[in-house]
Structure formats: C-alpha cells, structure tokens
Amino acid sequence: MALNRFELIGRARELAPVFAARALQEEATRAPLDETVRDMIDSEILAVLTPRCYGGHELGVDVMAEITRIWSEACPSTGWVGAFYMGAAWRALMFSERAQQEIFADKPYILCAGQAAPLREVRRVSGGYLITGQTPWSSGSVHAEWITFVGVLIEEGAAPAPLLFLVPRAETELVDTWFVAGMRGTGSNDMRVEGVFVPEYRTASFALAMSGVTPGQALHASPMYCKPFLPFAMTEVVPVLVGAMRGAANAFLRRTQERQGTISGVKAAGKPAAQMRLARAIARADAAETLLESYLKLFMADRADQTELLDRSGMKLRAAFITDLCRDGINDIARGIGGDGFRETSPLQRYFRDINMLAVHAFLDIDTAAESYGRMALGLPPDDMLI
C-alpha cells in the first residue's frame, strides 16, 4: 500500500538517531551495516520514488530529498547510500520496459550502485554487448543487487556512442578499494566486469538519459520521471551536504555549550568569537536549506527549457554553489572546535571530512560548474560532458 509523505518522513526521523549511533561502526566497517540496509527496506522508504504501477509510493523528489537530509544530519554516509537506493528507482526508468519489469518483479525498490567513470571496452555482439573494465566510486556496492556502468561504443564509421548498462551484481566483481579520508561508511568500492554480456534491453543511451528523453522514461505519465539525469542526480546528493551542514551546526552548538578551557577554565559559550562562529554556522545551515528548497522547486516545475544545455549547466552551478556554501561553513566551524573536536568520537571531525570530500565530487565541484556555466553565458561552446 502506498504511503504518504508524512508517514515516510516520520519513519525517516525515527531511524535518524539509530543511524547516528551506528556512524562510528559504519566508518570502521567502511560500508553501511547490514542492519542499516534492513531498516531502510523494512521502513518502506526506499520505494518513495517508485511508480505506483510497480508497487511504489510515487512521491516527489522533494520527499526523497527531505529524507536524505534527515539521515545525513545523523550520518552523511548513511544519507548518501540511502539517497542512491531511493533514487535508483527513478534511474531504473531510463531502461526499457522489459528491464523495468525485471527489476520490480518481486519488490518495489532496487538496491543499485553505479559509477560515472567509463569502462575500458564495449563491444557489440548478437543480442547485446560485451563489457570489460574496472571503474571506481560505486557507492552502496556492498549491498547492491544491480550495478550500472557507463561505456562508450566505438565502431568504424560511426560516432562514439555512450551507453548505460544494467548488470546483476552476481555478474560483477567488487574490488575492495575503499580506503579514504571521508564518507568512509558508503562502501564506494571499484567494480569490475570481464567480458560480461549485457542484453540490449538492459542498455540505454547516455545522451538521451542526460536529456531526460529515454524511451523507458516516456512510458510514465508523471513529468517527474521525464527529467534530465544530472539535475535529478543533484536532488540525491545535494541534500546530503545540506543535512551534514545542519548536523555540524547542531553538533557545534552542543560542543560550544559543553566546552571549557583546560587551563583558563573559561567556558567557550561566554566568548564572543565562539558566539559569532556558532551564529555563522546556523546561518549557513539555514541558507543551505533555503537554497535546496529553491533548487527542488525549480527542478519539479514544468519548464520547456529543462532539456537545454544552458539550463542544465545552471542547475549544476546551483548545486555546486550550495555545496561550496556547506564546505565554507564546516571549515569555519573546524577552526573553532579545539583539539577534542578531532577525536574519532566527535561527530564534528566526521562532518568536516565528509563535507570536504563531497565538495570535490565531479558533479559538485564549484570550479568546474562555474567554468562551464560561465563559458555558455558568454556564448562559448560547452566543454563539460557532465551537464
């Protein structure tokens, strides 16, 4: 039975303190805990975007974003993986009707990981393609049941054709490479395939997906499903930054209330510098939430320009700007947390590592996004494939 937004957001709030309590253990495990993924499934939240025809709730991306924000405030790694598992139902619609029916045959959600880096080799064969290569950054791969790959088909006499491939997890190899400074609990390992056959029906045009006009998307009446890929992907990832910034501001408030100089004995709460730093942190968290709300409204609006490159580049710039705002916020906080704030038991150092790592993500880097939009605003041709 489909649930409404209030029921799902309520369940997300109930899980948030549970996820916060597991954050240290997930960092040590370098992946979401089995019980965390089970909690996500049992809550029925992962079907938030799944079309009703496949047993889902078919709610808006704003609901997914709010759930992601809530979980990321508790634990950014959990919010990141949860966002991709919720968003996977939307991304599945880029593939053919046959693939969609296969995915949702026995449940209204999909545990799917994917990565944007292209494979080394794609070769056309009878009925489909053979794919080979190893690609990094596959968030949620530890518990995934499906993996998506990107590859470029190069054939004599034809233009290079970027394609999306949907592959059962059992036909891939997980390469344990996730040893990183931030976002440690996401299990974003490398994935490898060696001569794996992918039938035609489990492939899609990358170019059509970037424009939001794949045949699979066109099967669904809701305009939410017929949007360009990258602006949608930002509705998954930006709420993680925004939630983490709010979590950091709240943690800094608690830290400031409790902190006392070991030599002077003076409480931090009585110092103007600490008071101003706290106020800036709260203001940045408020601003990030307001800008996210604006982004979501613009994404969900029925606009004729949504498939235009300049508009898509502008959406990427908005997302990167929010990210940069959060990075500036956590770095300002970090200058005032003292040595104890960098102990492993302190959530502040985790927010610091996580936000700074996310801010250099290829989708979220402010320099790349600004250059791309600036070029196009000046009438120059785009040079960024990820728009």
Q: In this structure, what token pair is assigned to residue 26?
A: 């997930």
pLDDT tens per residue, range 77-122: 999 999 999 999 999 999 999 999 999 999 999 999 999 899 999 9
Q: H or E element: which one contains 309? A: helix 309-334
Sign of the C-alpha dihedral, residues 200, 58, 225, 153?
Answer: negative
The identity of residue 151, as a single letter, is: G
Q: In this structure, what token pair is assigned to residue 126?
A: 């009878």
Region at 44 (left for phi over 0; alpha for psi -120 to 50; beta for the rest): left
pLDDT, position 134:
98
Strands 203-205, 161-168: pairing kind: antiparallel
As a dihedral over the C-alpha atoms of residue 384, residue 312, residue 315, residue 46, rounded to 10 degrees, the angle is: -100
| Cβ contact 48:59 at 8 Å | yes
pLDDT, position 265:
63
SS3 content of the chain, % helix, strand, coil (to 5): 55, 15, 30
Whole-angstrom Cα distance, residue 138 to residue 168?
Answer: 14
HEC profile for 161-211? Answer: EEEEEEEEHHHCEEECCCCCCCCHHHCCEEEEEEEEEEEHHHEEEHHHHHH
Residue 239: count of CB within 10 angstroms of its CB: 31
Interacting residues of 100 by C-beta distance below 8 A, sequence separation 6+: 54, 92, 93, 216, 219
Maximal CA-CA distance, the chain: 77
**CA-wise closest residue to 260 among 268, 248, 270:** 268
Q: Which domains does the chain have, with CATH numbers?
A: 5-109 (1.10.540.10), 112-216 (2.40.110.10), 229-377 (1.20.140.10)
Whole-angstrom Cα distance, residue 236 to residue 149?
Answer: 18
Q: What angle do CA 77, 348, 273 make, to 5 degrees?
A: 150
Q: Which residues in the chain come in under a pLDDT of 70?
A: 261-266
Whole-angstrom Cα distance, residue 310 to residue 84?
Answer: 26
| Cβ contact 48:63 at 8 Å | yes
| DSSP letter for each residue of 2-26 | ---HHHHHHHHHHHHHHHHHTHHHH
pLDDT, position 262:
57
Whole-angstrom Cα distance, residue 320 to residue 371?
Answer: 11
Going across the sheet that includes 121-125, the strands are 121-125, 128-138, 189-199, 173-175
pLDDT, position 382:
86
Q: In this structure, what token pair is assigned to residue 272?
A: 């103007």
Whole-angstrom Cα distance, residue 146 to residue 196?
Answer: 14
pTM over 0.85: yes
The single residue listed with the structure tokens 């785009």 is: 382
**CA-wise closest residue to 11 among 49, 37, 39:** 39
Residue 283: count of CB within 10 angstroms of its CB: 12
As a dihedral over the C-alpha atoms of residue 166, residue 170, residue 171, residue 176, rounded to 10 degrees, the angle is: 100
Rg (CA), the chain: 21
C-alpha pair distances (Å), 295 with each of 75, 78, 235: 23, 22, 8
For residue 197, give the 3-state DSSP assignment: strand
Q: In this structure, what token pair is assigned to residue 198?
A: 């992918």
pLDDT, position 259:
81
